[in-house]
Amino acid sequence: MASNAVVCVGYFVLVLLSVSSEGSRHDGELSHGDILQRQEADRVVELPGQPAVDFKQYAGYVTVNESHGRALFYWFFEATSKPEKKPLSFGSMEAESRRLREEERKCWERKKQISGRVLWFLEEERTPCLSFFRSPGCSSVGIGEAEEVGPFFPQKDEQTLKLNPHRWNKAANLLFIESPVGVGFSYTNTSSDLYQLGDEITANDSYTFLVNWFKRFPQFKSHDFYIAGESYAGHYVPQLAEVIFDNNKHVPEFNYINLKGCMVGNALMDDETDQTGMVDYAWDHAVISDRVYNNIKIKCNFSRPNPTQDCKKALNAYFDVYYIIDMYNLYIPTCVSNSSISSNRQHPVIQGVAPQIFSKFDGWQKRLAGYDPCAPNYTKVYLNRPDVQKALHANVTNISYPWTQCSEIVPVWWDSPASLLPTLKKLIAGGIRIWVLSGDTDGRIPVTSTRLTLNKLGLKINKEWTPWYTHHKQVGGWTIEYEGLMFVSIRGAGHQVPSFKPRQALQIVRHFLANKKLSSTPF
């Protein structure tokens, strides 16, 4: 299948901050020497305990605000095959860079001839690029890379990495970004920045990161670009896509980002339907009693941001259940490790994030999210090792706190829209490909919530509830093909679809990138 994109999976590489940032050049371009130097400085030759691989990886920092000293950390993996037409090397880079710039100039001239539309024409196949995002305060490196779709999974011995057989860089060049600052290795030299965070600054900083990252890696600039993520990425992904979409209409050629599509899984998209669906799903799956369910229905109005005292009492009974089972997958065990490391990833208590009612409850904020339920332990130990950080060019400023999957220093979230449906409608109208995934054993953003949300979106249905098949003639889930949007459910998957159904997740992302429907007949 033809594939010519870059997939952006959530959080993002920069050389040491002692070198000047990309933003310091007013002409928007770096010299060939700077490009080569910066790429080589970010090159990750080998990680401690890493198996041998035949693809390149890069990691480091990109400055997004020079005056405040804000920098986002990234980890980038080239695709396992044909990441670009020519391999990146010192000998070929300069000629390749010249060829790409000339190609882009011709494309830009052709684009300007098309009235009212912005198109990006490619003469040859190029592997897409994908970026992946996670929840507010949580790391796409620690969760997305190390437990879901990345090449390397830290192991129980806390010394070695396992090569993920279903890694997504088999389908695309894969970029992880730790965003916003205060998450993972990303940082700011201006402490007040941590009290100004929200959806808008996250989207704008991520956009600035991408513009500067593509200046450092111009050989990927003409590739198709996709954004993917899960959970709160139902906010992050469409908001970043909207910033790219709007800026693409007026930016100079060298800042144009070839955005093609977005994919979100078990995604927070609309407060009212997300919260209603959580309660309905819990009752349908025998998690809460009739009494608790009916009490919530009588006393809570999820179309309002602030719960009454009676509603709070009713919801406390609902959340009590998720102290003894995992909200993120109703049917997996919890971690009973004797490790001295805090045994479970805890979502931070951040005031102000959506959904406006549920986010006020400890039960929403601080539930387990393990899939190997002890995997967060292994990742936390591994990424806090000095030799690992040195290999990744991470923690170059000696951050005063340890790396964690979910930040403990982001105290408040200033803006979090109750619904992202208007943004989704705008992107669909603009021709951006949208796929929405839903693992059907997740209680956090369950399939019930997603179906209610998509119904509220009011799109025309082109093809109703249809099974799709995975290997050995097994039903992988169901799809609904809307006008401009594809919904995909995944049987037996929890909140993090790739952790529970990795083969199916790779199958889905390959079809998404190729704009190809999943098979509706057994194979």
pLDDT at 360: 72
How many other C-beta atoms are found inside a 10 Å radius of the C-beta of residue 263? 27
pLDDT at 84: 61
Distance CA 459, CA 318 (A): 32
Q: Report the relative pairing of strands 461-470 and 152-154 from DSSP bridges.
A: unpaired
Quick: pLDDT tens for 151-208.
Answer: 999 999 989 999 999 999 999 999 999 999 999 999 999 999 999 999 999 999 999 9
- Residue 363 pLDDT level (bands cut at 50, 70, 90): low
Instruction: Judge whether 176 and 133 are in contact, CB under 8 Å.
Output: no
| DSSP state at residue 24 | G
Task: Specify whether 157 is catalytic.
Answer: no
Q: At 133, list the tokens.
A: 């995002």
For the chain, the farthest-separated pair of C-alpha atoms sits apart, in whole angstroms, at 71
Task: Specify whether 442 is catalytic.
Answer: yes
How confident is the model over 270-295, as a mean pLDDT?
Answer: 97
- Residue 504 pLDDT level (bands cut at 50, 70, 90): very high
Residue 64 burial (CB < 10 Å; 0-12/13-18/19+)?
buried
How many other C-beta atoms are found inside a 10 Å radius of the C-beta of residue 463? 12
From the candidates 270, 442, 499, 511, give the one annotated as an active-site residue: 442
Distance CA 402, CA 384 (A): 7
pLDDT at 18: 23
pLDDT at 10: 42
Task: Specify whether 27 is catalytic.
Answer: no
**Coil, helix or strand at residue 98:** helix
**Element (H or E) spanning 162, and its range?**
strand 161-163
DSSP β-bridge partners for residue 224? 5
**Measured CA angle at 209 (ends 205, 213), to 5 deg:** 175
Of 114-128, 230-244, 501-515, the range with the lowest mean pLDDT is: 114-128
DSSP β-bridge partners for residue 187? 71
Task: Classify each residue of 36-48 as buried b or exposed e, where b means 16 or more C-beta atoms within 10 Å of its C-beta.
Answer: bebbebbebeebe
Residue 468 has pLDDT above 70, yes or no: yes
pLDDT at 332: 85
The residue whose two tokens read 């005292």 is 309
Sequence-distant (6+) residues with CB within 8 A of 523 are 469, 471, 473
pLDDT at 17: 22
Sequence-distant (6+) residues with CB within 8 A of 175 are 6, 7, 8, 9, 12, 74, 75, 76, 77, 129, 130, 131, 132, 213
Q: Report the relative pairing of strands 474-482 and 485-490 from DSSP bridges.
A: antiparallel
Cα–Cα distances in angstroms (integers) from residue 51 to residues 163, 193, 362, in the given order: 7, 38, 40
First-to-last alpha carbon distance for the chain, in angstroms, is: 17
Quick: pLDDT tens for 40-83.
Answer: 999 999 999 999 999 999 999 999 999 999 999 999 999 998 77
From the candidates 131, 140, 231, 438, give the one annotated as an active-site residue: 231
List, in order of start, the domains of the chain with CATH numbers: 32-97+130-332+350-514 (3.40.50.1820)
Average pLDDT taken over every residue of the chain: 84
From the candidates 235, 393, 495, 511, give the one annotated as an active-site residue: 495
Quick: pLDDT tens for 199-235.
Answer: 999 999 999 999 999 999 999 999 999 999 999 999 9
Distance CA 393, CA 379 (A): 17
